[in-house]
Structure 1
């Protein structure tokens, strides 16, 4: 079968979907967690259509998989009040609980979460079109992240279980929670990226308002009873509704202490501005990125192509850490483009349940229109699609396009396409690549492909001051999760990694006293009687 026929038949009839990958039923969510209760919703709902289409008489149509509540600012306000009450100015049960007890609650939740693995993995696949294998990896990685966070907090608490004595003053330094956290995750990693902020914020004693992403909403429904049963009343609250209708009011209340968002810098800036006491607001943000690959004449082109394919097209390029522009020396551009095109042609495309599938449908309903606009703009300004069949689409599926030569008159030079387009820019002098990154509004990561030590060194020193991570002969990526994950410019605020995240959602606090006999007796009595959760020498194993 030729390419066009294969593409036209990429979607199957509904009765051809394998039983093992089907959802057990349509998931029509009519309740949500607020103030320790699963509250019933009888108002408007949003219908959820999968990026996976089915064949109909009218052509491919997205498949309905369920619906969820579209709540209002009133319900969001009630959940905010619940979170504020649960925190109670730091005097609530959760923020004053011992670290060991909070860890036990998170462990209990994790056990209940694991029980829901099958349905959550299927919902990741159906809601965002991620392959079933990668959906399972996302779940497993999230569980690993939770346990790594627990271990990291134990290590931190062990280090804090002693007193420091300097100049006759003794002190115990620990970390305290910040208050109410508004947590909003992204659709591309709706479970993992969300939990890399939610879990650290929670385990450090903060109370949570959690808004699921626009795509990847239903998959959080099976976890809400686990949250309810594992944590005190009001500690975790899940809010639903249109973001522009419910979130500004939450920020304007001044009761949000931490904003954590993985998404758009424009949205983050607007939300921060709406808070009446900006100096009291901490922001932990993972934002836009336009990560570049720099391929020099001294690169192993085959290796570079392999890494660029993975870096630019994993999950259809819908990753903040994806390689979104390739800067290649003019002398090797033709060879790189030929290899890139040949390797893309080998990628399997199809439905997310198919074994070995690499390219799947896109969840955003207007995405293909935007990608076509980017390509039209590039062609109008002198570029062309160089790989065979690049840019062809059917229903919600878009086949990757390698676009060359891209220049500074084109959208693809500046904008984060967040999809399966690989813009390639020729350069003649390495200084051009450094200037590109200097002028970019983004500063997350860069990949350098070269086997010349002097050349790599000449790029490392200026680029570490433009981006937060320089990758040598490898794609840009977040992991391992113990490494710092952040960005410069408009790409991030705060640092996320397992150890960094628990610090991001807490503040150093200490109890200090002069080393006289009366104070020593007093402190010894408090520690011996175990009457304070903060002032304690308990050692968590």
Structure 2
């Protein structure tokens, strides 16, 4: 099923209206240095200003100056700012979702879901503002108290990717702000409009709550802008989301100046399907995980490792489901698969499919372009299903497009070996009705990912759990659990109330 595509003029009008209602002054941000484009039609909407490297320096200096005062504001008071920001996000949820769809091509429900993630992380961070706990430990010296305290870190540089243009920034910004940090945000050059709208709403919350100005700064531009932010000595923490290739560049540069980094990089996510799996549940979960966001999530399901006994049935059901997926205009309520973000993404998808066939794969469904006449500049594709004889070179790579490779196995140990035999380690899952199989997959010698699920797909992480992965995924953690610790510095404190000097380990220095 293929739906229609909106006209560029309609998309442009929708974007301009959403920006204005979010508080963005269009005249102040328009320019000719950066193009705001939409993957819905592939057309340019209008031009925007961009920052220079000197502008990055000024933004960092302003955020650092704001930090010097913000760090002393009590954390619950900092939480009041984030609470107000969350309320504004709720009031402007529809407008922000419009911009997410315009720029990233997400279908309506996914765009609204992404904005809801921002609201949820604000709720989480407000509660966190009263729970930035340190420990008290027993001292080996009498009359002494040993404890740890946590203090704000400084300016947090956030580099976000196009596929989650607002949620990932919010994961970082909401937590950083309640921790007493300030933020400089470099959004993807593919999604500047969403960043401008979010910044306007946060600036409004800052003004309404009496918080210091410049707590959040935005810098627009290409790679040179991100590089300047990464190299700044006034940015103790860089949180970067993107490809493994990008992480290989960012990580060493931050480490060279002894900064910290949170890296959320590639994912080549897999799910194991056992003979006891509920196939209705499995197929429904797999289709969303593989085809959602047109396969452009870091948590997208890219490999399905299926037991020989049920492989044919699973492939048959998936092939039928892929044939029914409504593809087209993401603003249409019936659409489930929107466009790829660019022609380059489509070219990479076609190249990967050609390689898969060369390496012995069988294309079972999808891969063809849709709506080429209705939207010559838009790249709509039917998600592809490929049955592979082995985990070949192309399968071990992440292709950021809707390609699902199906592999088979005979016993669970073999399935786990296949699962782990890729460089990436973000998200994983197993579909089973056998508790022993589930526990084996969750065990220390089971799946080697940062996110390990049972009877659920690889995408759809919740705010309350720390998000991130291992190996070439980068090892960083954002959002829930104790991820807040990455945004603060720890101090170990000893208080001597004994009235005498008592050294550790019984050392006597009195002579």
CA contact (8 A) 1:252 1:276 kept: no
Q: 1:85 to 1:369 in 2, by over 3 A?
A: same
Q: Which among 223, 227, 230 is matched to residue 251 of structure 1? A: 230
Q: 1:467 to 1:23 in 2, by over 3 A?
A: closer
Q: 1:408 to 1:64 in 2, by over 3 A?
A: same
Match of residue 503 from structure 2:
none
Deviations 1:140-193 (A, max 9, x none): 221121011111222x15x56x98775422466432111221111221111112
Match of residue 45 from structure 2:
65
Deviations 1:463-505 (A, max 9, x none): 5462223212221235332123221111132322323232221
Bigger drift between 354-363 and 108-117 goes to: 108-117
| Residues 447-462 of structure 1: pairs in structure 2 closer than 5 A | 447-461=429-443
Match of residue 458 from structure 2:
476
Query: Helix, strand or coil: the match of 2:419?
Result: helix
| Residues 26-45 of structure 1: pairs in structure 2 closer than 5 A | 44-45=32-33
Q: 1:220 to 1:72 in 2, by over 3 A?
A: same
Q: 1:109 to 1:333 in 2, by over 3 A?
A: closer
Match of residue 176 from structure 1:
151
Deviations 1:381-429 (A, max 9, x none): 2222212x54333341011111112534341x11112221111112334
Match of residue 507 from structure 2:
none
Partner Cα distance (1:417, 1:276) in 2: 28
| Residues 94-493 of structure 1: pairs in structure 2 closer than 5 A | 94-154=70-130, 156-157=131-132, 166=139, 167-170=142-145, 173-229=148-204, 230=206, 231-243=211-223, 245-275=224-254, 277-278=256-257, 280-387=258-365, 389-393=366-370, 394=372, 395-411=378-394, 413-461=395-443, 463-464=445-446, 466-493=448-475
Match of residue 56 from structure 1:
none
Q: 1:377 to 1:111 in 2, by over 3 A?
A: same
Match of residue 509 from structure 1:
491
Partner Cα distance (1:95, 1:430) in 2: 51
Match of residue 5 from structure 2:
11
Q: 1:207 to 1:67 in 2, by over 3 A?
A: same
Bigger drift between 395-404 and 232-241 goes to: 232-241
CA contact (8 A) 1:326 1:423 kept: yes
Partner Cα distance (1:74, 1:320) in 2: 32
1:24 CA displacement: 4.5
Query: Helix, strand or coil: the match of 2:114?
Result: helix
Partner Cα distance (2:461, 2:266) in 1: 18
CA contact (8 A) 2:240 2:247 kept: yes
Partner Cα distance (1:392, 1:186) in 2: 24
Partner Cα distance (1:27, 1:142) in 2: 17
Partner Cα distance (1:352, 1:71) in 2: 31
Partner Cα distance (1:484, 1:23) in 2: 33
Query: Helix, strand or coil: the match of 1:419?
Result: coil
Q: 1:397 to 1:422 in 2, by over 3 A?
A: same
TM-score by length of 1: 0.81
Partner Cα distance (1:505, 1:478) in 2: 24
Partner Cα distance (2:447, 2:279) in 1: 27
Q: 1:104 to 1:407 in 2, by over 3 A?
A: same
Partner Cα distance (1:444, 1:26) in 2: 34
| Residues 512-523 of structure 1: pairs in structure 2 closer than 5 A | 512-515=494-497
Q: Which among 12, 19, 22 is matched to residue 14 of structure 2? A: 22
CA contact (8 A) 1:182 1:256 kept: yes
1:12 CA displacement: 4.7
Bigger drift between 474-483 and 452-461 goes to: 452-461
Match of residue 481 from structure 2:
499
Query: Helix, strand or coil: the match of 2:71?
Result: helix
Gaps of 5+ in 2: 373-377, 501-511
Partner Cα distance (1:488, 1:498) in 2: 17
Match of residue 79 from structure 1:
59
Gaps of 5+ in 1: 54-61, 519-541
Query: Helix, strand or coil: the match of 2:261?
Result: strand
Query: Helix, strand or coil: the match of 2:347?
Result: helix
Match of residue 527 from structure 1:
none
Query: Helix, strand or coil: the match of 1:22?
Result: helix
Deviations 1:428-448 (A, max 9, x none): 343332222333111122211
Q: 1:147 to 1:41 in 2, by over 3 A?
A: closer
Q: Which among 41, 52, 69 is matched to residue 40 of structure 2? A: 52
Deviations 1:184-217 (A, max 9, x none): 1221111112211122112211122111123322
Bigger drift between 44-53 and 459-468 goes to: 459-468
Query: Helix, strand or coil: the match of 2:405?
Result: strand
Q: 1:323 to 1:499 in 2, by over 3 A?
A: same
